[in-house]
Amino acid sequence: MSFAQQSLKAPGYPPEQLGATREPGPAGEVRLAVKAAAFAAGARVMQEAGARFATMFLADRPERSLIAAFALRGELVLLRAPAGGESAVFESIGAWWPAARWAERELSELHGVRFSGHEYPGRLTAPDADLLDRHVSGLDVFSIPYGPVRSGIFEAIQFYIESGGEDVLRIQTRPFFKHRGMEARFAGLTPDVAVHVAERVAGIASCAYASAFSQAVERALGMQVPQRAERWRAVYCELERMACHLDVIAKEAEAAALSVGQARFQILKEQVMRLRSRLTGNRFGRGAILPGGVRGEGMMDLDELLRAVDNIERQLLRDRRMFLGTASMTDRLIGSGRLPRKLVEDYGAVGPVARGSGLSTDARHERPYGNYKRLGLQVVSERDGDSMARVMVRFGELSESLRILRQTIDQLRRRDGELQAPLPALGDGAAFGWVEAPQGELLIWVELRDGRLHNVHIASPSLRNWALFDRAFPKDVLTDFAFIEHSFGLTPAEADR
């Protein structure tokens, strides 16, 4: 019996006092139902038990409900309260748990859920590029609305910076310039078609999205996926992690005007992109993963793939040594954008941002899925909490990805097997699927009715980490901005959806 189950079953423990009832759910999910009035108290219990707030959303199963999900010791705890009827007002959780704030704002602005007890400034989901919103006063203080049209080739997002000339006095992230309504786009599609939508929620993490979505469907329908399919998924997802991490490091080198370093990491990234193109026919691995398994064998000889992986590792070791030995590079990273561990915990951050501040949260380790159940995973964590720590986490994970790739390719070489399990045509069910995307833990909730998607919620790592960005400039100046932004390594597409 896990910790979560034990503590939640202990006599007199608050969920029982709150009248929480346990509902059936797939393995790894603890589902609790409470009355709307006890919802916030239930969340408080989770906080006290040491849970990480993951997401909050409206579900339609078994009835119109508000669900909050928490990661607690190897399980996902779902707290559900009915949200039907006009009278449902929830006590704000964001009032005392920063991690819940953006979720509450999104729910109240886009879905009309009412929260009491906390006032939010302005609208998060309807950004206005021209809005001046000064909070810091002083003779020489000026504001810079940076974005949504950025300098360079970047996705649209705005950072409203207030500065006294050098020091960043206050920064406010304004997402949702790119809100495309992707969650609603799933409705009515069959899972095999809907996976194309999932892949396009975050283009740079298509394999992570396809995997998380597929696993959610498979868990909702109680399906098993062939082992060989899980292995190919791990290959695609680790290559994707490598491309994303190499991209971050190349951009850090660019910010420091380290041209050859930038070129070197771009070369490595392009090599990974070309590997993916040869394996799957798409440079982002799209179309390779689908609910029930994978589309087919990778289109490359496994020995050749292994040689390519070895070759990338040889180059990477040398480039990494040189990157870390270049003082003009590391000086910009060390000490900038320092995030204390407590702050990261309060905001429920995930991925390299959390692991750079001493946390060891990694979905592959916390709730192992797919091939990661059969692979030992070394979670890479750094203590310093600065941009350097987040870059070091990525360097460590590049090595770990290469090791996982080699081990998985070896497994693929040794045994043949099925690649797809058939999906029941008229399946019903609801479940979460999760993966550790390159940006952090990704959760996708799916509800299926008669074999078609009914309701989908995406808890993206970027949205959950971005709220923390506003706090990442404790002693930093304007010229640190690029270094800190890249060290977060986030993508607005998935935050805005």
Partner 1 sequence: MLEWIQRGLSQGKVTTRYPRGPEPAPDGYHGSIELLNAKDAPPTLEDVCPTRAITVDVQQRVKLDRGRCILCGECVRRAPERFAFRADYETAARSRSALVLGDWENEQVEPVRQALGEQARMLRRSIHVRHIDCGSDGSEEWEIQALWNPYYDIQRLGFFLTNSPRHADILLVTGGVTSPMRKPLERTWNLMPDPKALVAVGTDACSGGLATEGGKVAGGVDQVLPVDVYVPGSPPAPIAIIHALLLATGRLTPGEVAA
Residue 207, phi then psi, degrees to nearest 5: -70, -40
Place of tokens 């640190």: 480
Nearest distance in Å: CB 325, partner 1: 8
Residues 154-183 that bind partner 1 (CB under 8 A): 154-156, 176-182
Contact in structure between 123 and 110 (CB atoms under 8 Å): no
Nearest distance in Å: CB 151, partner 1: 4
**CB-nearer residue toward partner 1: 127 or 440:** 127
Contact in structure between 216 and 445 (CB atoms under 8 Å): yes
Residue from 15, 148, 370, 433 touching partner 1 (CB under 8 A): that is 148
**CB-nearer residue toward partner 1: 183 or 397:** 183
Residue from 141, 189, 419, 477 touching partner 1 (CB under 8 A): that is 189
Nearest-CA neighbor of 201 among 234, 219, 179, 216? 179
Sign of CA dihedral 269, 369, 464, 355: negative
**Which of 335-355 are b and which e, b meaning 16 or more Cβ less than 10 Å from the residue's Cβ?**
ebbbbeeebbbbbbbbbbbbb
Burial of 267 (0-12, 13-18, 19+ CB in 10 A): middle
* Residue 492 binds partner 1 (CB under 8 A): yes
Residue from 9, 22, 111, 274 touching partner 1 (CB under 8 A): that is 274
* Residue 241 binds partner 1 (CB under 8 A): no
**CB-nearer residue toward partner 1: 31 or 105:** 105
Residue from 104, 230, 319, 397 touching partner 1 (CB under 8 A): that is 319
Residue from 88, 141, 169, 267 touching partner 1 (CB under 8 A): that is 267
Q: How many residues in the shown chain lie near partner 1 by CB under 8 A? A: 61
Residue from 15, 25, 261, 291 touching partner 1 (CB under 8 A): that is 261
**CB-nearer residue toward partner 1: 307 or 475:** 307
- The DSSP result for 26-74, as a single string, is -TTEEEEE--GGGHHHHHHHHHHTTPEEEEEEEE-SSSSEEEEEEEETT
Contacts of 230 (CB under 8 A, 6+ apart): 370, 371
**CB-nearer residue toward partner 1: 127 or 370:** 127
* Residue 191 binds partner 1 (CB under 8 A): no
**CB-nearer residue toward partner 1: 143 or 227:** 143
Q: To 10 degrees, what angle do helices 302-324 and 227-255 make? A: 30
Stretch that binds partner 1, among 27-35, 262-270, 365-373, 391-399 (CB under 8 A): 262-270
Alpha-carbon distance values, 324 to 251, 390, 492 (Å): 15, 13, 29
Specify which residues 437 forms β-bridges with.
Answer: 440
Nearest distance in Å: CB 364, partner 1: 22
Stretch that binds partner 1, among 98-106, 133-141, 202-210, 382-390 (CB under 8 A): 202-210
Nearest-CA neighbor of 382 among 346, 325, 334, 347? 334
* Residue 204 binds partner 1 (CB under 8 A): yes
Q: Which two tokens stand for residue 109?
A: 């602005």
Distance, in Å, from the CA atom of 262 to the CA atom of 249, rounded to the nearest integer, reads 8
Distance, in Å, from the CA atom of 58 to the CA atom of 445, rounded to the nearest integer, reads 10
* Residue 131 binds partner 1 (CB under 8 A): no
* Residue 318 binds partner 1 (CB under 8 A): yes
**CB-nearer residue toward partner 1: 12 or 325:** 325
Residue from 55, 163, 206, 361 touching partner 1 (CB under 8 A): that is 206
Residues 97-126 that bind partner 1 (CB under 8 A): 126
Nearest distance in Å: CB 368, partner 1: 28
Contact in structure between 430 and 32 (CB atoms under 8 Å): no
Distance, in Å, from the CA atom of 247 to the CA atom of 244, rounded to the nearest integer, reads 5
Residues lying near partner 1 in the complex (CB under 8 A) are found at: 126-129, 148-156, 176-182, 184-185, 189, 193, 196-197, 200-204, 206, 247, 258, 260-261, 263-264, 266-267, 269-270, 273-274, 277-278, 281-284, 286-287, 299, 318-319, 322, 326, 491-494
